[in-house]
Structure 1
Amino acid sequence: MLKLQTLVKGLMTLALVLGVVSGARAEMNVEFSVDGSAGRYAIAIVPFKDEAALPTAPTPVVRTDLALSGEFRMVDGSSVANVPFDPTQIDYAKWQAAGAQAIAVGKVVAGAGGQSTISFRLMDVGRKKELTSGQFTVPQERVREVGHTIADMIYQAILGQPGIFNTRIAYVLKQGRSYQLQVANVDGSNLQTILRSREPIMSPAWSPNGRFLAYVSFETHKPVVWVQDLATGSRRAVANFKGSNSAPAWSPDGKRLAVVLTTSGNSQIYLVPAAGGSPRRLTYSDGIDTEPVWAPDGGTLLFVSDRSGGPQVYSVDTEGGTPRRLTWQGSYNVSPRISPDGKSFTYIRKNGGEFRVVIQDIAGGEGRVLSTGYNERPSFAPNGRMVLYASVVGGKSVLYAATQDGGSKVKLAVINGDVQDPAWGPFNNP
Structure 2
Amino acid sequence: MTLRVSRMKNVVAVAWAGMLIVLQAVDAQVVVVKGGAPKWPIALSGLVPDTTASSHKLVEILGGDLEISGWFTLVPDGSAIIRCIGRVRSRGDRITVVCSVVSHRTGREYLSRRYRARVSELRQTAHRLADEIVRAVSGKPGIAATRIALVGTRNGHKELYLCDADGGNLVQLTRDRSISIAPAWGPEGRILYYTSFLMGYPDVYSIDPVRKKRIRLVRFPGLNTGAAVSPDGRRMAVILSKDGNPELYVLEMRGWRATRLTRTPAAAEASPAWSPDGTRLAFVSDRSGTPQIYVLEADSGRTVRLHLRGSENVAPDWGPDGRLAFASRFAGIYRIGVYDFDSGVISYVSGPDADYEDPSWAPDGRHIAATRTTGFRSQVFVLDTLGDSPRLLTAYPGDWYSPAWSPKLPTNE
1:381-412 CA-partner distances (Å, limit 9, x unpaired): 11212122232456654433233233554344
Tell me the alpha carbon deviations over residues 191-239 of structure 1, each in whole angstroms, 9 at most, x when there is no partner: 3322111221111111112221111110111100111233433332221
Rounded Cα–Cα distance in structure 2 between residues aligned with 1:70 and 1:396: 27
CA contact (8 A) 2:293 2:314 kept: yes
Distance 1:242 1:396, change over 3 A: closer
1:325 to 298, 305, 310: 305
TM-score (norm 2): 0.84
Residue 88 of structure 2: which of 82, 101, 108 is its match?
108
- Listed as ranges, the gaps of 5+ residues in structure 2 are 1-32
Q: Which of 402, 405, 412 is residue 424 of structure 1 equivalent to?
A: 405
Alpha-carbon distance between aligned partners in 2 of 1:237 and 1:341, rounded to the nearest angstrom: 32
1:71 and 1:49, CA in 2 relative to 1: closer, same or farther beyond 3 A? closer
| Candidates 268, 274, 277, aligned match of 1:297 | 277
Q: 1:185 to 1:35 in 2, by over 3 A?
A: farther
Task: Specify the alignment match of 2:137 in structure 1.
Answer: 158
SS state of the match for residue 55, structure 1? helix
For the Cα contact (< 8 Å) 1:37–1:73, is it kept in 2? no
Aligned residue number for residue 5 of structure 2:
none
Q: Does the CA-based 8 Å contact 1:397-1:414 persist in structure 2?
A: no
Residue 300 of structure 1, CA deviation: 0.8
Change (3 A) 1:219 1:233: same
Separation of aligned partners in 1, 2:398 and 2:405: 20
2:227 is the counterpart of 1:241: no
Q: Distance in 2 between matches of 1:46 and 1:312?
A: 51
Partner of 1:262: 241
Q: Which amino acid aligns with 2:72?
A: F
1:98-137 residue CA offsets vs partner (Å, 9 max, x unmatched)? 2x221111112456x6333210111112212111120011
After the TM superposition, which of the residue ranges 124-133 and 184-193 deviates more from structure 2? 184-193
Letter in structure 2 aligned against 1:212: I
Counterparts in 2 of 1:328 and 1:171: CA distance versus 1, 3 Å: closer
Alignment partner, residue 179 of structure 2? 200
SS of 1:264's equivalent?
coil
Tell me the residue number matched to 1:41.
Answer: 40
Give the direction of change, closer, same or farther, for the CA distance of 1:49–1:39 in structure 2 (3 Å limit): closer
Structure 2 vs 1, CA of residues 69 and 265 (structure 1 numbering), >3 Å: closer, same or farther? same
Cα deviation digits, residues 360-380 of structure 1 (max 9, x gap): 112462411111221111111
Q: Distance in 2 between the 1:226 and 1:142 partners?
A: 29
Q: What residue in structure 2 maps to residue 75 of structure 1?
A: 75
Distance 1:399 1:215, change over 3 A: closer
- CA-CA distance at 1:305 after TM superposition: 1.1
**Partner residue in 1 for 2:124:** 145
Cα deviation, residue 255, structure 1: 2.0
Among candidates 317, 321, 341, match of residue 337 of structure 1: 317
Quick one: which amino acid aligns to residue 118 of structure 1?
A: V
Q: CA RMSD in A?
A: 2.2
What amino acid is the match of 1:48?
L
Following superposition, the deviation at residue 37 of structure 1 comes to 5.1
Residue of structure 1 equivalent to 2:115: 136
**Aligned equivalents of 1:393, 1:289: Cα separation in 2:** 27
Q: Which residue of 1 aligns with 2:12?
A: none
In structure 2, what residue type is equivalent to 1:385?
A: R
Separation in 1 of the partners of 2:47 and 2:380? 31
Question: 1: CA distance between counterparts of 2:186 and 2:50?
Answer: 36
Q: TM-score, normalised by structure 1?
A: 0.81
Q: Could you tell me how far apart the structure 1 residues matched to 2:61 and 2:230 are?
A: 33
Displacement, 1:275?
4.9
| 1:68 maps to amino acid | I
- CA pair 72-279 structure 1, distance change in 2 beyond 3 A: same
- Sequence identity (%): 33
Q: 2-side partners of 1:399 and 1:230: how far apart?
A: 20
Which deviations, in whole Å up to 9, do the C-alpha atoms of 1:306-337 show, x marking residues without a partner?
12221111111122422111233222000111
- Aligned length, in residue pairs: 375
| Residue pair 2:292, 2:314 contacting (<8 A) in 1 also | yes
Shift of 1:41: 2.1
Kindly provide the amino acid, as one letter, of the partner of residue 366 in structure 2: R
* Alignment check: 8 A CA contact 1:35 1:408 kept: no
Q: CA deviation at 1:413?
A: 6.2
| Amino acid in the other structure paired with 2:289 | G
Q: How does 1:223-238 map to 2 (within 5 A)?
A: 223-238=202-217
Match of 2:16 in 1: none
1:55 deviates by 2.3
Pick aligned residue for 2:200 from 202, 205, 221: 221
Amino acid at match of 2:229: W
Give me the whole-angstrom Cα distance separating, in 1, the residues matched to 2:305 and 2:338. Answer: 15
CA distance in 2, matches of 1:38, 1:243: 47
Q: Retained in 2: the 8 A contact 1:238–1:275?
A: no
Which letter maps to 2:218? A
- The answer for the alignment partner of 2:148 in structure 1 is 169
Output the CA distance in 2 between the equivalents of 1:357 and 1:115: 43
| Distance apart, 1:38 and its partner CA | 5.7
Who is 2:253 aligned against? 274
Higher relative contact order (CA 8 A, sep 6+): 1
Structure 1 unaligned segments of length 5 or more: list them.
Answer: 1-33, 78-94
CA distance in structure 1 between the partners assigned to 2:366 and 2:42 by the alignment: 19
Report the Cα offset of residue 71 of structure 1. Answer: 2.7
Q: Once the 2 structures are TM-superposed, how far is the Cα of residue 176 of structure 1 from its aligned partner?
A: 5.9
SS in 2 for 1:154: helix
